[in-house]
Structure 1
Amino acid sequence: MIGNFSLIRALPVALLLAALSVPGWATASPGVALLNQAALHSAKASRAVLLAVTRAGDRLVAVGERGIVLLSDDSGQSWRQARVPVSVSLTAVQFVDAEQGWAVGHMGVILRSTDGGQTWVKQLDGVAAAHLALVSAQQGNDAKRLKEAQWLVADGPDKPFLDLYFSDRRNGYVVGAYGLILHTTDGGDSWQPWMQQVDNPEGLNLYGIRPAGGALFIVGERGLLLRSVDNGGSFQALESPYDGSFFGVQGSPAGELVAFGLRGNAYWSGDQGLTWRRVETGLEVALSTGTQLPDGALILASQAGDLLLSPDRGRSLRHLTDPAGASIAGLVAAPDGSLISVGLSGVARLKHNLSSAQR
């Protein structure tokens, strides 16, 4: 049986509140309308619950509740709202260049932009994703997989995607609740269910996916660590140093990576996940997000607003002075060197001088 969705409550507070803000979260019929309802524009959009932020060239793109997408071309000093065809909460966003990007969210939504985030089109939703899983299962001989796919169709399109990773304009993955993972080789024009390629028999929630040193890593609930060394063709489970949920992972081109999650836990690996060492954070609250700076340094953030800096790609972490003081769901370095955060209170330009902080 696919993992109990109540375990998604282990997500950082921002994601949980966003889920609860969606009308009809637990019932399929009211929620389906949100898949075809354009996001409303609001003068207060920059203070809405925002869950992720990234760069599209020199532009900043933030996403969040009710389909809100915000754009900034001045390093976060001002924001404007983009046109979005859905009203469901968006949980993650990535651009591979200044024009091409994707966002994912609740109810199985996958959106694509080809103009730097100004406009978006819906490529997939939970209804279509469940149908894809069913068709794929019907073509195999796995009774358990078929039963799970039938359950996805019957239960409705409320399953969220929680993260994504594209290596270029054509090849990408989206991951989410119940172990859902889809793969595309044509920029999202078509998607293939990838669950059968992943060593996750319990269907544990998948919270994050990132590359490191030529490999691809997925983290999830109950300490799940997955690695692909064949360009995403298959993912094998790694021995985990921790049995609590990992909410994210950050990797370096050299193959070093940091997995982080519940109760301030962070673990560093210098050998692509074969062995792990706990990194002291001094925190008991969940680490909710992280970002890499242009010089390779790493910043992690907690759901309580703590900021941790690692100048050595995750081997050690130290607290930045003047913590943010509000729940943080996403971070990115702006073109002018400032640090942009998003969370329960919307978007903020943090006052840290990142160059001096690393000395």
Structure 2
Amino acid sequence: MQTIARVMVVLAAILASTTVQTYAQGCVGDCSGDGEVTIDEIILGVNIALGSAALSGCPVFDRNGDQQVTVDEIIQAVNNALGGCSPIPTPTPGEDAWSFQNPAPSGEDLFAVSFPDRDHGFAVGSFSEVLRTTDGGQSWESLFIADFANLYGVHFINASRGWAVGEAGKIYLTLDGGENWNPQASGTQEDLNGVWFTDVAHGWAVGNTGTILRTDTGGNTWGAQSAGTTRDLFAVTFADSQHGWIVGDAGTVLHTQDGGASWLPQTSNTGNALYAVAFRDANRGIAVGDNGTILRTENGGQQWIASVSPVVTPLYGVAWGDAQTVWIVGDLTDEFQALILKSEDGGLTWTQQQSANTNPLYGVRALDGRTARAVGGAGTLLGADDGARWSLRNPAPTNDLYAVAFPPGESSVGFAVGDWGAIAITEDGGATWSGRDAGITDGLFAVTTVDPQLVWAAGGNGVIVASRDRGNTWSVQNTQTTETFFGIRFVTALQGWAVGTNGTIRATADGGASWFPQASGTTEDLNSVVFVNTSVGWIAGSTGTILHTADGGRTWSRQNSGTTEDLFAITCVDTNTCWAVGGAVETSTTPPVQVLLKTTNGGQSWVPQPVFCGQNPQVPDNSGCPDPLFGVYARDARTAWAVGDLGTILATRDGTRWDPQVSPTTDTLNGVFFADANVGWAVGFRGTILKTVTGGR
């Protein structure tokens, strides 16, 4: 009775002194999320302000994120009750609830690249993607062909005139540097994989089942030529107007020395598919393909000799830089980075160069012996300007991303991290993302921030890097371990924890200047850590591991999760309410497993949560979205999101029922973060960054 009396006195004073005002952010006091503020919700807010109710009961009262409810916030809630809440943003027609922010300028796979001169370059890829550079590959812009066909080959003879070829016999011509593209009739439905022109009139396109097309009219008409084979053909090149080569499946090499009037086979001495070929002149050439195959010739292909290849990775592209310099690009190595090989002796020997990228590279062109450009999966654009160091030419990383975080109360400045030391930052809410170099190549799997200036990221080999200037510069902190960190969390500028392989826990009380071990009592991998204050926290890990502390990590105790599946992420909103997610990916012999747990009593019990994505939306059934979950984030005890394999996005609006949201990607999503009930981000493989301004609805 005393509490109710105090609430009513405060409420009466507020109502007596309040005038209706308009506020720009959120709907303070709308605990239920129904767009209205009721008297009961205002009473709850007053109780939170007085300390007799927990903030988790209605986190939307805490407008500025300072973990308390003030008189000003109560006044704003009353204003919202009197004047109404602003409507929740909804997508405009044609706008997705979740939309891509990265990769840029495109996230489509890029399969081929052509440079007619040092400044002008063009790349083509899936869904008719065309990119153009006018500054030698330093920056690129996205163009578009009005079709959704995959484009596999491109060749420009000058900065204006070029051709692109692709699936189902597609051929396109541009006369204005890619601004406009006109279809040309190929006379075939076979996929076309490569194209080459020796001048404005004479050109060839090659494709599946031995397809060779020739034009003497700049593509106005195309006619079929005999290949003498039904093998798929992948690439065509000419050294001059008379001498040309085609390569394809099962070691196929064809050669012309009469300007393409006829094509004759050459002996390659390999049964591996050959995907690319390049000639320095009519004698010296290199062909590359499956299983690390590298062939070279010094006599126009009369003899093809196998070079000693340092890899067994599929090789997709080759380019000469000068008489001695050659580059090759290909698939991912055992280190999960795109392969780049370089020769400085005309292809006799090869050394691997670091790409620091997790996407295959499909095409490469060299501008000289020191300058080369490569394109690949997820719209990846790489460049080397000194013959040795390759760097990303996309604005932000295209590497696999594992985590995203924004400071409390902040929706403008944010950070995402990923493989090979990838760091992306935004200062405009994700309208643009840009990459930062922390000077490391270890994968970064977790990120945490307490204000726009202070941010930490953790990853492989015990690496923790920190920035004190909004992510612009980074320093490596000494963790005294080489274990891989999968989770990190700071609750103040000084106090934080990192967790990782073999039960590793490190803690700091000085912002990471020094890290000291804490005993976890387990050797299981620890994948995620969360603290709700400086004392109370949880860790989630493999085989269903959940650890809890109430003393800042001095002691950790194991809680019974009720599962033996791996748990990859955990989120908590107060000392009672948490969610943990995990599972296992589908294999050839086992179905996928999805784990979604919740506790409302501080972890004394963890309860599986119902997911509604089956045929009947009223019956709990995750058969329509059964894949494992790798990231989870909760705003309050009612509102949370989880992301996972194959682009899965789930959300709850009442704290119990989880429903799927429409995802624009099938790439794995690893991390999710929300700045408020509507604005959030998810990150994942191939540099994926998604954003929603509608809570994902």
Which range moves more in the overlay, 254-263 or 284-293? 284-293
Asked if the contact 1:45/1:68 (under 8 Å) is kept, the reply is no
Note if 1:223 corresponds to 2:292.
yes
Note if contact 1:45-1:81 (Cα within 8 Å) is conserved in structure 2. no
Secondary structure, aligned partner of 1:178? helix
Residue 179 (structure 2) pairs with residue 179 (structure 1)? no
Q: Is the contact between residue 307 and residue 323 of structure 1 (CA under 8 Å) also seen in structure 2?
A: no
Aligned to 1:81: 183
> Structure 1 counterpart of 2:339, which letter?
N
Cα 1:119–1:56 shift into 2, 3 Å: farther
Pair 1:295–1:254, CA change in 2 (3 A): closer
- The match for 2:331 is 262
State the match for 1:189 in structure 2: 261
Question: What residue is the counterpart of 1:22 in the other structure?
Answer: none
Partner of 1:29: none
User: Given the alignment, which residue of 187, 199, 204 partners 1:102?
Assistant: 204
CA distance in 2, matches of 1:13, 1:82: 23
Offset from partner CA, 1:268-301 (integer Å, 9 cap, x none): 1111122222111111221111234589732101
| Matched position secondary structure for 1:249 | strand
What CA distance in whole angstroms lies between the structure 2 residues aligned with 1:102 and 1:89? 14
CA contact (8 A) 1:259 1:266 kept: yes
Q: Is the 8 A contact 1:199 1:226 kept in 2?
A: no
Q: CA deviation digits over 1:187-245, x for unaligned, max 9?
A: 232221212xx232xx1101110024762001011111111011222110011111111
Residue 50 (structure 1) aligns with: 151
**What secondary structure does 1:118 align onto?**
coil
Aligned partners of 2:169 and 2:190 also within 8 Å: yes
Instruction: Report if aligned partners of 1:209, 1:216 keep a CA contact under 8 Å in 2.
Output: yes
Q: How is 1:33-72 mapped onto 2 (pairs within 5 angstroms)?
A: 46-57=147-158, 58-72=160-174
**Structure 1 residue 276 and structure 2 residue 350: aligned?**
yes
Once residues 314 and 145 of structure 2 are traced to their aligned partners in structure 1, the CA distance between those partners, rounded to angstroms, is: 33
Q: Is the contact between residue 175 and residue 206 of structure 1 (CA under 8 Å) also seen in structure 2?
A: yes
Q: Which has the higher helix share?
A: 1
Retained in 2: the 8 A contact 1:164–1:175? yes
Residue in 2 that maps onto 1:306: 380
Aligned Cα root-mean-square deviation (Å): 2.7
- List aligned pairs for 1:329-348, cutoff 5 A: none
2 CA distance for matches of 1:50 and 1:216?
A: 25
Mapped pair 1:90 → 2:182: no
CA distance in 2 between partners of 1:78 and 1:64 (Å) = 17
Task: List runs of 5+ in structure 1 lacking aligned partners.
Answer: 1-11, 16-42, 131-156, 326-359
Query: 1:304 aligns to what SS in structure 2?
Result: helix
Larger RCO (CA under 8 A, 6+ residues apart): 1
Structure 1-normalised TM-score? 0.65
Letter in 2 for 1:115: T
**Aligned with 2:279 (options 200, 203, 211):** 211
Task: After TM superposition, list the pairs within 5 Å mapping 1:83-162 onto structure 2.
Answer: 83-124=185-226, 129-130=228-229, 157=230, 159-162=231-234
The aligned counterpart of 2:312 is 243
Change beyond 3 A, Cα 1:236–1:65: same
Please name the residue that 1:20 is paired with.
none
Which one-letter code corresponds to 1:171 in the other structure?
H
Q: How many residues align?
A: 254
- C-alpha separation between the residues in 1 aligned to 2:312 and 2:366? 25
- Say whether residues 1:163 and 2:235 are aligned partners: yes
Cα separation, 1, equivalents of 2:317 and 2:161: 24
- Which has more radius of gyration? 2
Instruction: Give the equivalent residue in structure 2 for 1:143.
Output: none
Given that 2:165 and 2:192 are in contact with CA atoms closer than 8 Å, whether structure 1 keeps it comes out as yes
Contact 1:207 1:220 in 2 (8 A): yes
- 1:294 to 1:60, Cα distance in 2 relative to 1, 3 A: farther
Residue 291, structure 1, aligned to residue 365, structure 2:
yes
Does the C-alpha gap of structure 1 residues 44 and 226 become closer, same or farther in structure 2, counting only changes over 3 Å? closer
Paired residue type of 2:261:
D
**Contact between 1:94 and 1:165, CA under 8 Å: does it hold in 2?**
yes
Shift of 1:170: 2.2
2:209 is paired with a residue of what secondary structure? Answer: helix
Aligned residue number for residue 269 of structure 2: 199
Q: 1:255 to 1:97 in 2, by over 3 A?
A: farther
Deviation at 1:302, TM superposition (A): 1.6
Which residue of structure 2 aligns with residue 317 of structure 1?
390
Q: Aligned equivalents of 1:287 and 1:81: distance in 2?
A: 27
Q: Rate the CA distance shift 1:296–1:80 in 2: closer, same or farther, 3 A.
A: farther
C-alpha contact 1:306 1:323 (8 A) present in aligned 2? no
Deviations 1:160-209 (A, max 9, x none): 100112122222111101111111222232221212xx232xx1101110
The Cα shift of 1:92 comes to: 0.3
Task: Tell me how far apart the structure 2 counterparts of residues 204 and 170 of structure 1 sit (CA, whole Å).
Answer: 27
Residues 62 and 107 of structure 1: is their aligned pair in 2 closer, same or farther, counting only changes over 3 Å?
Answer: same
**Residues 212, 257 of structure 1: 8 Å contact kept:** no
Q: SS of the counterpart of 2:213?
A: strand
Aligned to 1:336: none
Is contact 1:305–1:324 with CA below 8 Å preserved after alignment? no
Name the amino acid aligned to 2:317: G
Equivalent position amino acid for 1:186 in 2: D
CA displacement at 1:116 relative to structure 2: 2.0
Q: Distance in 2 between matches of 1:89 and 1:192?
A: 22
2:346 and 2:225 map into 1 onto residues whose CA distance is 33
Call closer, same or farther: CA 1:45–1:88 in 2, change over 3 Å: farther
Counterpart AA for 1:291? R
Query: Following the alignment from structure 1 to structure 2, what is the Cα–Cα distance between the partners of residues 91 and 199?
Result: 23
Distance 1:323 1:183, change over 3 A: farther
Once residues 175 and 297 of structure 2 are traced to their aligned partners in structure 1, the CA distance between those partners, rounded to angstroms, is: 36
Structure 2 CA distance for partners of 1:54 and 1:44, relative to 1, 3 Å: closer
Distance 1:174 1:53, change over 3 A: same
